[in-house]
Structure 1
Amino acid sequence: MIRRPFLPIALASLAATAASAEPVTLPMLVPAPVSITATGGAVALGRSVVLVEGADTDAQTAALVRQILTAAGVDTIATARRLPATIDRPHIVIGVGDSGVVQSALARSKATLPTQREGYAIASSVVGDSGVVTLAGRDTDGLFHAVQTFRQLAKRGRIPAMVIADHPAMPIRGTIEGFYGKPWSMAERTDHLNFLATVKANTYVYSPKDDPYARDRWREAYPAATLGALGTLAATARRNHIDFVYAISPGPTVCFADPADAQALERKFDALRGIGITSFYVALDDIEYAKWNCEADKATFGPSGPQAAGVAQARFLNGVQAYLTAKLPAARPLIMVPTEYYDAKDSPYKAALRKDLDPRIVVQWTGTDVVPPAISIPDAKAATKAFGRKTLLWDNYPVNDYAQTTGRLLLAPYTRRQAGLSGELTGILSNPMNQEAPSRVAVAGVAAFAWNDRDYDAEGTWVTTARDLAGGDERATQALLTFFDTQHMAPTFGTQPWQEQAPRLKALFDQVRDAIANGDASARRRAIADLTERADAFAAAPDLIRAGLVDPGFVAQSRPWLDAMQLWGRALQLTAAGLDAADRGSATAARYFADARKLAGEAAAVRSIPGATRFDGPVRIADGVLDRFVADAPTLIAPPPAR
């Protein structure tokens, strides 16, 4: 263990007194716990703690607790198997619920452990000048989730005395890498799995549309190097208590009636089982069912069409489920995405699946549309009725692989999903962007909603995610929120977006317009001064984000947007200067406005990284809001009369 000199006793006593005088506040936790009750006081971690491990605590989870304590400034971590009679420094108890030391520690705080899978309890209590913090899991996954909550608590150095009882609302929570265009790299997937763990997600589906061995060449074996990389990725997922699900997309060429194709799929899965993958998925989206791929299907199922396709797919998938049950009796059920994956209207195809598909098989559904503007409980109930089972929501947010997203990052909060959906869904998987790190802004919201949809705080989760990306730095956090606002647009497949663009910036501009149009001289000056201050912050935000405090993957993948934002920020500064000059009757206003127009043109010409997304193009920064204001500003104040 590492030791550092302790403070002199007098100084330590003063520090402890000062710390005890600080108000105790409950933290903003993401996801929000089901129940959190403050009991008074706080446990300061200090520099030395004792870690008490239950007998069945896995080594990796215990190692994670040590990392968290070290990051919180703890120098010395002693170990013990039970709590002593006298608590002379903070004791951290970790373990699953049937461990005697855990039960004893929970009893000290009159805390009980949730009965649900993946549930956990955290109980912290002040004992004399120190205290006990207990992290208890219903199972090993629950303990891991408790540690992730402890990670958030420990950043403050003082753990409020409280009892948390928590468990997930939905059994499946996470992401499906299901977009078109450039897939994530293995390094990006590793980063994403590490991130998913922090928001208590438990599922990652590997389904990149541009992996040829998962779609166009699905019958072929993976090259050894690729198979090895997938095995490493699956091991990373296990370490993070995430179910790695491998998805195959045979639909474009499969012959449902041909035993050889069923055997080819089983061989593929056998190879993947050999590297530690035990969960599987068959994707049948984005294919035609107006024609068969082989004569055998026509002979077996009759003329092509929706109902025949449903029968053929059900029979094929039932065979896959039977194979998996024989090989992996304890594994999760097969997941499938149907050809009719959106809306909940009944149809001959859905009726065939409802009648013939093995009830164990999980069906994915994207909501009322491919990119739905909202999802309600009645929507989900209709899907349950149509497919004959509760569905797993494939939420196409924040994916940016369709034409309406050209030039955009999608960074608005995850919202307009109705509280209570957990009663009608088996879970939610977000389809993220080609840009992994920026995707975390929305994915954190998806995971938080799936964990506790009834207490989900979209705005609070959004801000907390920005703070995490900024490494806790407040200036970088505010810079990120300014940037997020410029990428607030959430398009659909139609012309009407489901989230508006740049609401914070628009509110500022509306205030400025109103003050200039309707206010007196003092109101105009105040509004223009406020605009100048905000323009300076806007222009400075990209450099604050690039300064090294923000996740480097986020900076690299957002590069052209940050470049364009900086140019737009300078244009906004010049616009504010032009309005100030015009308000004072200065002839320099025209020059400021002309320079602003020039910079705006340069900003609008910045393009996305070639090949990074399915549709390349000029990047968009608060479009329809910022560009309009810069263009309109010269007309807001009439120039002085010519002399």
Structure 2
Amino acid sequence: MPRATKWRNGLVAAVMLAGASPAAIAQTATLPAVFPAPTAMTLGEGEMSLGRSAVLIAAPGTDPATVALVRSILNRAGVSDITTASRLPASLDRPTIVLGPDSAVPVRDALTRSGASADDQAEGYTLATVVSGNGGLITLAGHDADGLFHAAQTLRQLVARPRIPALVIRDHPAMPIRGTIEGFYGKPWTTEDRTRHLDFLGRMKANTYVYSPKDDPYARDKWREPYPAATLSALGTLVATARANHVDFVYAISPGPSICFSDPADERTLLRKFDALRGIGVRSFYVALDDIEYQKWNCDADKAAFGPSGAQAAGIAQSKLLNAVQADLARRDPAARPLIMVPTEYYDAKESPYKAALRANLDPRIVVQWTGTDVVPPAISVPDAKVATKAFGRKTLLWDNYPVNDYASSAGRLLLAPYAKREAGLSTELTGILSNPMNQEAPSRVAVTGVLAFGWNDKGYDADRTWHFAARDLAGNDARATAALLELFDTQHLAPTFGSQPWQEQAPRLKALLDHVREALAGGDAAERRAAINELTRKADAIADAPDTIRAGVVDPGFAEQARPWLDAMQLWGRSLRLTAAGLDAADRGNGAATRYFGDARRIAAQAAAVQSIPGAVRFDGPIKIADGVLDRFIADAPGLIAVRAKP
């Protein structure tokens, strides 16, 4: 009999002796893990099984697309027979799901029966479940259409469990703006990448995607030229996908390298460009003025209008243009979201003539982005954000340059460490967070999941648990694939900055094991030495086997393809470590074959170090790095850690 079965049978016997039944054990409720972490979640008594049949009550005013989403969630959970009704039945003989605005009568009745109250914040929702005999009541109450959509995403996570516990979740986001900005240099995402990413943002309760690829010529170098019809049509499809996921598609233009700020013709051209985007459904806009030269004018007219070039004059000129754009947006649609801009000085909060000019002249409605204390900051604290609020004259929108990998010190890396070292409480000083992801869309989701979870609930955010959730999500909850992904993540844990020290260390789990092996070998105890070498062998097997498990197990095949060279290199490094472990084992046993094992390990390590990135996939091509400074060093040092007996 398997050990787990023996354990469970023993537990059942012990509980029955105490007077409880096996059924009582099965229905013991446990608090589920929901990501992003809800604002408040309270566990009740009992659990319910959805079964094959359920009643669905969609209150008047419910978005039909959200009703369809809930139906699909129930279908995937095995509910094949869904009966519709207009009001709550007197008795609940099967699961009954009520959804709609929290102001609708059926929803209010369901909340009352559940002993729950509505969450009254923007994008807020209440999800309440009550167990009743063979049935139960599940209520999804949205304070607005976005909130109801978010409630459905929480339901999607709950039904992944075998049984749903009785609970009440009252939830809303801490930050108004949460999402990503496709703002990296190098190869832009494909339409398929963006479509999958927008679906991911919807699942993670994000609400913003900024289209700002630096290599889109019609948004930067050719910003004055209209988009070709085919490109505009493709963007329109993305706008519709974003809307279906309750994500605001924000179009960004980067006219800074060539615009004449005082020229009415350039202003009209920019507004005309926005008009074309309105025609495909875009309602939110952004002007990027980063990474430009602001110490010289692009035209003589600006010198006449604003005086000699310089930081202060640039701030005044930029404010004039941006204020005109904001006024036009408000005139066309008083309910439109305010214009977003990224300033030329975006990377610190030090007082300067440029920031003073923006603070004094920029329309207070305009949202200003800020990347923190550096372009890629090692940490961001609440006091840092307070200084930025003072410098820009408003709470800023954080442009977090993680996990973007378009700069030289990130070459050869996927940045897969958890999102960390951002202080809880930042929601009090920021209007939101946008993550700048990698050129590789699917691998970016590992870190972006953390960014979005932090933006939703910074005070309840747990970096490691969210990191593990990201692995499970990519693996479709498959345990083996999740474990394999975490092995990969550990080898890509280093997070560089623009300084000399990374803001996240490299391969901490692997380093801890290799340090333990070194210590065991140095200690001189034979039993400890044997145990450590055996542990090293198991770790080597896990690293070598992980790539094939990932390729077969990830839900999105795009992950395996975009991470292909890293998986190839990881497999080789795992084989090299396996041979290294065999060499240590042979040396420990006095076997002269250790020399051959170590030699083969060095040969395969050289092959691993020579694996190159996919040409053109990233801004800086080059060799792939896997736990560099940790794994390679151990393999190089291993032959000297234990005496190798010469062959007789």
Q: Residue 368 of structure 1 contacts residue 379 of structure 1 at CA under 8 Å; is this kept in 2?
A: yes
- Per the alignment, residue 180 of structure 2 pairs with 175
Q: Which moved more, 1:211-220 or 1:42-51?
A: 42-51
Instruction: Give the match for residue 91 of structure 1.
Output: 96
| 1:413 corresponds to 2:426 | no
Structure 2 CA distance for aligned equivalents of residues 329 and 19 of structure 1: 57
For residue 50 of structure 1, what is the aligned residue in structure 2?
A: 55
Select which of 270, 278, 283 maps to 2:275.
270
In 1, Cα distance between equivalents of 2:23 and 2:413: 48
Partner of 2:539: 534
CA distance, structure 2, for counterparts of residue 481 and residue 74 of structure 1: 33
Q: Give the drift of 1:76.
A: 1.1
Aligned partners of 1:258 and 1:296 also within 8 Å: yes
Q: Which residues of 2 match residues 484-563 of structure 1 at below 5 A? A: 484-563=489-568
Contact 2:593 2:647 in 1 (8 A): no
State the partner residue of 1:349.
354
- Deviation at 1:550? 3.7
1:134 and 2:139 aligned: yes
The answer to whether the aligner puts 1:188 opposite 2:197 as a matched pair is no
DSSP-derived class of the 1:336 partner: strand
Instruction: Tell me the secondary structure at the aligned position of residue 92 of structure 2.
Output: coil
SS in 1 for 2:128: strand
Matching residue's letter, 1:27: P
Deviation string 1:72-126 (CA, Å, 9 cap, x unpaired) is 1111111111111111100011101111000000111221111110000011011
Contact 1:53–1:95, Cα closer than 8 Å, also in 2: yes
Q: 2:433 maps to which residue?
A: 428
Query: What is the letter of the counterpart of residue 43 of structure 2?
Result: A
- Out of 469, 473, 485, which is 1:468 matched to? 473
The CA deviation at 1:400 is 0.2
Q: How does 1:541-620 map to 2 (within 5 A)?
A: 541-620=546-625
Work out whether 1:627 is the aligned partner of 2:632.
yes
- Superposition RMSD on alpha carbons, in Å? 1.1
Alignment partners' CA distance in 2, 1:276 and 1:631: 58
| CA offsets 1:509-557 (integer angstroms, 9 cap, x no match) | 0110000101410000000011111111111000000114442010010
Task: Tell me whether 1:163 sits opposite 2:168 in the alignment.
Answer: yes
Matches within 5 A, 1:154-553: 154-553=159-558
Aligned to 2:9: none
Deviations 1:196-239 (A, max 9, x none): 01111000000000000000000110000000111110000000
3-state SS of paired residue (2:481):
helix
Task: After superposition, give the CA deviation of every residue in 1:136-177 in whole Å (9 maximum; x if it has no partner).
Answer: 100000000000011000111311100000000000000000
Deviates more, 1:428-437 or 1:156-165: 156-165
Are 2:583 and 2:597, in contact at CA under 8 Å, matched by a contact in 1?
A: yes
> Deviation of residue 467 (structure 1)?
0.4
2:172 and 2:456 in contact (8 A); partners too:
yes
Describe the SS at the equivalent of 1:315. helix
The Cα shift of 1:67 comes to 1.1
1:262 Cα shift? 0.4
Contact 1:72–1:157, Cα closer than 8 Å, also in 2: no
Distance of 2:238 and 2:331 partners within structure 1:
25
Cα distance between partner residues in 1 of 2:605 and 2:237: 46
**Amino acid paired to 1:610:** P
Q: Deviations over 1:419-441 (max 9, x none)?
A: 00000000000000000000000
How far does residue 18 in structure 1 lie from its aligned partner after superposition? 4.4
Q: Within 1, Cα distance between the matches of 2:463 and 2:481?
A: 20
Percent identical? 71
- 1:129 Cα deviation from its structure 2 partner: 2.2
Shift of 1:21: 2.4
Q: Which residue identity is paired with 1:635?
A: G
Task: Specify every segment of 5 or more residues in structure 1 that has no aligned partner in the other structure, as ranges.
Answer: 1-15
2:582–2:597 Cα contact (<8 Å) kept: yes
Count of paired positions? 628
- Work out whether residues 198 and 241 of structure 2, in 8 Å CA contact, stay in contact via their aligned partners in 1: yes
Please name the residue that 2:11 is paired with.
none
Tell me, yes or no, if the aligned pair for 1:43 and 1:132 is still in contact at 8 Å.
Answer: no
Which string of whole-angstrom CA distances, capped at 9 and with x for unpartnered residues, describes residues 270-312 of structure 1? 0100110000000000001110000110000000000000000
Q: Which residue type is aligned with residue 161 of structure 1? A: A
In 1, Cα distance between equivalents of 2:135 and 2:346: 55
Secondary structure (helix, strand or coil) at the match of 1:231 reads helix
Q: Deviations over 1:541-595 (max 9, x none)?
A: 0000011444201001000000000001100100000000011011000000000
What secondary structure is seen at the aligned counterpart in 2 of 1:193? helix
Moved more, 528-537 or 205-214: 528-537
SS at match of 1:602: helix
DSSP-derived class of the 1:547 partner: helix
CA distance in 2, matches of 1:408, 1:467: 22
Q: What TM-score does the superposition give when structure 2 sets the normalisation length? A: 0.96
Distance (whole Å) between structure 1 residues aligned to residue 519 and residue 30 of structure 2: 39
Shift of 1:640: 3.3
Give the residue type in structure 2 aligned to 1:476: A
Q: Is the 8 A contact 1:476 1:550 kept in 2?
A: no
**Structure 2 counterpart of 1:440, one-letter code:** R
State how far apart, in whole Å, the 2-side matches of 1:20 and 1:194 are: 38
Residue-by-residue CA offset, 1:234-262 (whole Å, 9 max, x unaligned): 00000000000000000000000000000
Contact 1:46 1:157 in 2 (8 A): no
CA distance in 2, matches of 1:140, 1:22: 33
Runs of 4+ residues deviating >4 angstroms: 16-20
* C-alpha distance in structure 2 between counterparts of 1:629 and 1:75, whole Å: 55
Mapped to 1, the partners of 2:30 and 2:473 lie a distance apart of 19
Deviates more, 1:512-521 or 1:426-435: 512-521
